Structure 1
Amino acid sequence: MVRWGIVGKQATLQSDQIPRFENPTFALDTLGVQNQIIASARRGQLEEVTDSIPLDVPTCISLNLEDLKCFEVVEHQYEQWGVIFQNSLAIQPSNPAFPTKSGVTVLMGSPKSGFLEASFLRPVNWVSTCVTSSQRLVLSAYNCDRQLLCQTILPGANLANSDSSLSPNLLLSVAAKNIHTITFCAFDGQFTIDEFRFCV
């Protein structure tokens, strides 16, 4: 089911169909991205990497969650890379229903269940992540005035070892000019995110 909505002067397309990328690398290539940086939560890496990248080349930042400790509250660890999280906790899932996509660490919404927010210090044009959720989840992107730019919807649960037709760690993304904030919302549910990337 597809719905059109008007937000301010901007039309947005909302769909209950899951966007599928057969090859996530191809999805990046369509944006003209030539550089991808694996961003560490440790200090000091930023200067080494950014000195070697031309400023006019589109660049994607992929967060290395493996630097985080289990049960570490995640807020400003990646601020040097341009993103700040709210209501976010690093975990190493023991529940097999929430498998990781890569490595052993993922982010989940906590202490408020079913919600996570990421704010970008400079506007970005594309954000993607792999999501596993216990129920329907909405990924929303907003501009600097908190006006909705676009949404992607995971229409139902995609837990591992369940009867869901949706696979766990499904790739969701939003693309729009001047994204300042994104939110993940699974009302009264639990979800994890892995392989969090954004492009500037």
Structure 2
Amino acid sequence: MVKQATLQFNKVPTVGDAKFALGNCNMQDKVTTSAWRGPVKQAVETTNAAEPTCIYLNLEDLKCFEAVERQYEHWGVIFHNSIAIQPSNSAFPTHSGLTVLMGAPKSGFLEATFLRPVNWVSAFVTSSQRLVLSAYDRDRQLLAQAVLPGANLANTDSAIPPNTLLSVTANNIYSVTFCAFDGQFTLDDFNFCF
């Protein structure tokens, strides 16, 4: 069983930090959010602006086959080419809960744009083939990439387990893309840190 990342507020996380190893991923001091559309003023005011703040998206309030775009805008992220699904294909298991995100209507691609720059983005991914997570700055210049080298579908002979954690770290990330060229993939437990 994979745990989530432990994140301390006194520094921005890096991929190389041992605490982000797949076996040691217990995230604390995070904001867990659903797709509700209420005010977030209290949550924002209770965090210290000088300290990194991490947002963990709880996808469970999304309806199956709901197009996901601005549901999390008040938390600082807008999705493009994304739908919520509850996978019926056992090759695409969820990491937690029942709901995941999938690139659609254009298969094999999903983008997240941040309303203010972030420094770390992660998600658990299951893909039918090689998947690339790319981070970009305000001018769409590539900042960092993480690669799932091949398919990691459940119930296959893949050496990579399903729901593999991919993350990117860089200053001033304004958007990320997930791309599995002509493939299918799911994302679960989408996280980002300011």
TM-score calculated relative to the size of structure 1? 0.85
Residue from 151, 160, 179 that aligns with 2:154: 160
Residue from 156, 171, 174 that aligns with 1:177: 171
Residue pairs, 1:59-138, within 5 angstroms: 59-138=53-132
Q: Structure 1 residue 52: deviation in Å?
A: 1.8
Gaps of 5+ in 1: 1-18, 29-33
Cα distance per residue 1:129-162 (max 9 Å; x no partner): 0000000000000000000001000000000000
Q: Distance in 2 between matches of 1:20 and 1:182?
A: 21
Structure 2 counterpart of 1:4: none
Structure 2 counterpart of 1:140: 134
Letter in 2 for 1:131: V
Where 1:24 maps in the other structure, the secondary structure is coil
Q: Distance in 2 between matches of 1:42 and 1:103?
A: 17
Letter in 2 for 1:188: D
Gaps of 5+ in 2: 1-19
Q: Distance in 2 between matches of 1:127 and 1:108?
A: 17
Residue from 30, 35, 40 that aligns with 2:29: 35
Q: Structure 1 residue 118: deviation in Å?
A: 0.3
Q: Distance in 1 between matches of 2:172 and 2:47?
A: 21
Sequence identity (%):
67
Q: Distance in 1 between matches of 2:188 and 2:145?
A: 18
Q: Structure 1 residue 43: deviation in Å?
A: 1.4
Letter in 2 for 1:163: D
Q: Structure 1 residue 71: deviation in Å?
A: 0.3
Cα root mean square deviation, aligned:
1.3
Residue from 167, 180, 189 that aligns with 2:183: 189
Higher strand share: 1
Where 1:42 maps in the other structure, the secondary structure is coil
* Aligned length in residues: 175
Residue 187 to residue 20, structure 1, CA distance change in 2 (3 Å): farther
Cα distance per residue 1:85-130 (max 9 Å; x no partner): 0000000000000000000000000000000000000000000000
Worse overlay, 43-52 or 102-111: 43-52
